[in-house]
Homo-oligomer: A and B are copies of this chain.
């Protein structure tokens, strides 16, 4: 496994490394860890990596690795660079035939995501997009139960992603100028919807298997000089006129990372919360409410392979991410495995189209806007 970005100054790199270690399927052997080559080498030294495979940049990475015989060559490359570089780097790697594990957001625009999708298909590589929360065992249990019809025909979905982290800086005109997530050049077209709303959207499509046909969105920048949304609500029409809601906020003051989803069908309801990821609430119509937890026999095979420990030993977010890495590893090796074991470029395309439709709806006076696929 190689890595682009993720060096000493990276926060997210460690998450990916832990995830890759946990399943014991990957070994980090090289990469272009830093734009500062000395720091890249320092990083490699700290991790006791071979300095000859620590490259100054992605071009050299690609060039040198391709010179190696295939069995020695890095199989999968993790892209954990700043957001705006995901697209060009992923493109370059795919075109060179590398399997790619890419941080979110996949691209800056939906068109770029579509382009990547075509390239992935053409070059027949594995592309994993780390929508981390899809790796939790109880999210997978939820997906299994919905697919098996446990809650019947769906008619209502409500997902929320509330954080409060931007509150301390947003009210001060000087401070808010310094936040990279509020700078369109670095963060892209959207702050709140692009960063977290899309997780809630992905969670809906991932667990239900439904597709969103159109959205009506209302976004809030709170201050006129702030160019990007920091709060918003999107009404969704899913397949068969099923109603959905995506609520996202970065000014839900002092909320930490409150991603929740509730799905209701004619036979029951399901609720899950990211901050207590090991509890899945199942409410059968007319029956007693149930609380499912990981590690039990009653779970689906998909949920079961996503847990390492016995019941009551809480696993967390690294373990969730590790499940995505494990799924991607199986795909890279061509082993049969579970459907939905990792989000791919398709999820990336859907997410970017959602974001663009949300922005279009909000900018056009909160009108219904199609997501054309």
Is A177 interfacial (CB 8 A cutoff)?
no
B283 touches A288 (CB 8 A): no
The A238-270 residues at the B interface (CB cut-off 8 A) are 243, 245, 247, 249, 251-258, 262, 264-269
A269 and B285 contact, CB distance less than 8 A: no
Looking at A63-71, A82-90, A164-172, A347-355, the stretch in contact with chain B turns out to be A164-172
Beta-carbon nearest neighbor of A219 in chain B = B243
Question: Which of A251, A254, A316 counts the most B-chain CB atoms under 10 A from its CB?
Answer: A254
Within 8 Å CB of A151, what residues of B? 253
Query: For the complex, is A334 an interface residue (Cβ under 8 Å from B)?
Result: no
Q: Tell whether A218 pairs with B231 under 8 Å between CB atoms, given A253-B266, A264-B164, A313-B317.
A: no
Partner of A269, one of B216, B253, B276: B253
Q: Tell me the residues in window 134-167 of chain A with beta carbons closer than 8 Å to chain B beta carbons.
A: 151, 155-156, 158, 162-165, 167
Which of A167, A284, A311 counts the most B-chain CB atoms under 10 A from its CB? A167
Partner of A366, one of B158, B254, B297, B368: B368
Q: How far is the CA of A18 from the CA of B249 in the complex (A)?
A: 34
- Do B243 and A218 touch across chains, with their CB atoms under 8 A apart? yes
Q: Roughly how many angstroms separate A356 CA and B283 CA in the complex, as a whole number?
A: 33
* CB neighbours of A277 from chain B (8 A): 314
The stretch of A19-27, A32-40, A102-110, A201-209 that contacts the partner chain: A19-27
A293 near B: Cβ within 8 Å? yes
- Say whether A210 faces chain B, with CB atoms less than 8 Å apart: no
Chain B contacts of A268 at CB under 8 A?
Answer: 253-254
Q: Who on chain B is nearest to A265 by CB?
A: B253
Q: Mark A1-43, 1 if CB is under 8 A from B, else 0.
A: 0000000000000110110011010010000000000000000
Let me know if A254 and B289 touch, CB within 8 A: yes
CA A290 to CA B290, docked complex, whole Å: 4
By beta carbon, the residue of chain B nearest A276 is B276
B231 contacts A252, CB within 8 Å? no
A191 and B282 CA atoms in complex are apart in Å by 26
Q: Which residues of B contact A266 (CB under 8 A)?
A: 167, 171, 253
B residues less than 8 Å from A24 (CB atoms): 14, 17, 46-47
- Asked whether any CB of chain B lies closer than 8 Å to the CB of A189, the reply is no
In the complex, whether A233 has a CB less than 8 A from a CB of chain B is: yes
Given the complex, which residues of B lie within 8 Å of A27, measured CB to CB?
48
Contact A247–B293 (Cβ < 8 Å): no
A235-B218, A257-B310 as given contacts; A269 in contact with B366, CB under 8 Å:
no
* B285 touching A164, Cβ below 8 Å: yes
Closest to A222 in B: B155
Interface centre among A48, A253, A308, A317 (most CB of B within 10 A): A253
A290 touches B293 (CB 8 A): no
Q: Which of B243, B297, B310, B366 contacts A286 (CB 8 A)?
A: B297
Between-chain CB contacts (< 8 Å), 26 pairs:
A14-B24, A17-B24, A18-B21, A24-B46, A27-B48, A158-B252, A218-B235, A218-B243, A220-B243, A233-B235, A245-B247, A253-B264, A253-B265, A253-B267, A253-B285, A254-B289, A256-B295, A256-B310, A257-B311, A276-B314, A289-B290, A290-B290, A308-B318, A314-B314, A314-B317, A315-B316
Chain A interfacial positions (CB closer than 8 Å to B): 14-15, 17-18, 21-22, 24, 27, 46-48, 151, 155-156, 158, 162-165, 167-168, 171, 216, 218, 220, 222, 231, 233, 235, 243, 245, 247, 249, 251-258, 262, 264-269, 274-278, 282-293, 295-298, 308-319, 366, 368
